[in-house]
Amino acid sequence: MTVETIDIIREENLVYRKTPALTDNVMHYCPGCSHGVVHKLVAEVIEETGIREQTIGVSPVGCSVLAYNYLDIDWAEAAHGRAPAVATGISRLHPEKYVFTYQGDGDLASIGTAEVMHACNRGENIVIIFVNNAIYGMTGGQMAPTTLVGQVTSTTPYGRDVKLNGFPMKITELLAQLDGTGFVTRQAVHTPLAIRKAKNAIRKAFENTKKDKGTSFIEIVGTCSSGWKMTPVDANRWMVENMFPKYPLGDIKDI
């Protein structure tokens, strides 16, 4: 007995659909980039927890500057590194809203170090999603604070040299030291299991906002196959072998 495809595509057989919180805009991200998956997870959590009408996002400068084209919520686009300050202004005047920033490693761990540090220290009731792919993607693959020792980038063409460039910054561990953070975790999105864990962490972070538990900070270790000059598959492998030892996954703080 043969089954026609048309008979399978029915409402009751659907096991997956795009969440309505994602727009239909075609994402500009490169093949293999982690941003698309992380966007989807944030959108799904917002939709599933029913907070879409109460959520305001703050996008950074970097590859995810155009995040406001993909998540169908209200957004403020911040200057480079300033998203936590912008989110502070929004959250303080809209204490009932769910406010989150979405930032990369250059934005958050380099030019915006002061803003993220102090937002976390004040315990702003916001969620910070930090995608760490150890490189500046948008500007063409330059060294980031989180670039690994020896890692080749366009501004470390012979590999990151600690004498010249200092050490990879574990900003997530630093932020976990601050009394204002309630939940600090590091996740990844390279396998279905990792994606499920990351989604649970994002859900928990937004639930923390409702409970006024201070700043929730989620690092997602991601890939940048274009910047790393690898295929998506190789980039995932390289991330597991090189990034995870330096940036181990799991909850760092949960109070």
Partner 1 sequence: MAEIKLMKGNEVIAEAAIRCGCDGYFGYPITPQSEVMETLMAREPWKETGMVVLQAESEIAAINMVYGAAACGKRAMTSSSSPGISLKQEGLTYLAGAELPCLVVDVVRGGPGLGTIQPAQSDYFQATRGGGHGDYHLLVLAPASVQEMNDFVSLGFDLAFKYRNPVMILADGVIGQMMEKVQLADYSPRWTDDDIERISGKWALTGKKGRDRHVATSLELDSYKQEIFNHKLQAKYRLMQENDARHEELHCEDAEYIFVAYGSSARICQKSIQLCREQGIKAGLFRPVTLYPFPRVPLRALSRRVKGFMAVEMSAGQMVEDVRLTVDANVPVEHFGRYGGVIPTPDEIVEALKKQIISAS
Helix pair 83-93, 113-122: axis angle to 10 deg? 30
Query: Which of 42, 90, 129, 188 lies at the binding interface for partner 1 (CB under 8 A)?
Result: 90
Give whichever of 80 and 203 is closer to partner 1, judged by the CB atom. Answer: 80
Q: Nearest distance from residue 58's CB to partner 1, in Å?
A: 7
Count residues contacting partner 1 (CB under 8 A)?
33
111-130: contacts with partner 1 (CB under 8 A): 114-115, 117-118
Give whichever of 99 and 148 is closer to partner 1, judged by the CB atom. Answer: 99
Give whichever of 94 and 229 is closer to partner 1, judged by the CB atom. Answer: 94
Under 8 Å CB-to-CB from 163, ≥6 apart: which residues?
A: none
* 43 scored as a contact of partner 1 (CB under 8 A): no
* 94 scored as a contact of partner 1 (CB under 8 A): yes
Query: Which of 22, 73, 178, 239 lies at the binding interface for partner 1 (CB under 8 A)?
Result: 73
* 178 scored as a contact of partner 1 (CB under 8 A): no
Contact 92/125 with Cβ under 8 angstroms?
no
Query: Which of 77, 207, 234, 251 lies at the binding interface for partner 1 (CB under 8 A)?
Result: 77
Query: Which of 63, 78, 109, 202 lies at the binding interface for partner 1 (CB under 8 A)?
Result: 78
Give whichever of 59 and 226 is closer to partner 1, judged by the CB atom. Answer: 59
Give whichever of 53 and 161 is closer to partner 1, judged by the CB atom. Answer: 53
* 56 scored as a contact of partner 1 (CB under 8 A): yes
Helix pair 192-210, 35-48: axis angle to 10 deg? 50
Give whichever of 54 and 165 is closer to partner 1, judged by the CB atom. Answer: 54
Give whichever of 117 and 152 is closer to partner 1, judged by the CB atom. Answer: 117
Query: Which of 35, 39, 40, 82 lies at the binding interface for partner 1 (CB under 8 A)?
Result: 82
List of residues contacting partner 1 (CB under 8 A): 52-56, 58, 65-66, 68, 72-79, 82, 85-94, 97, 114-115, 117-118
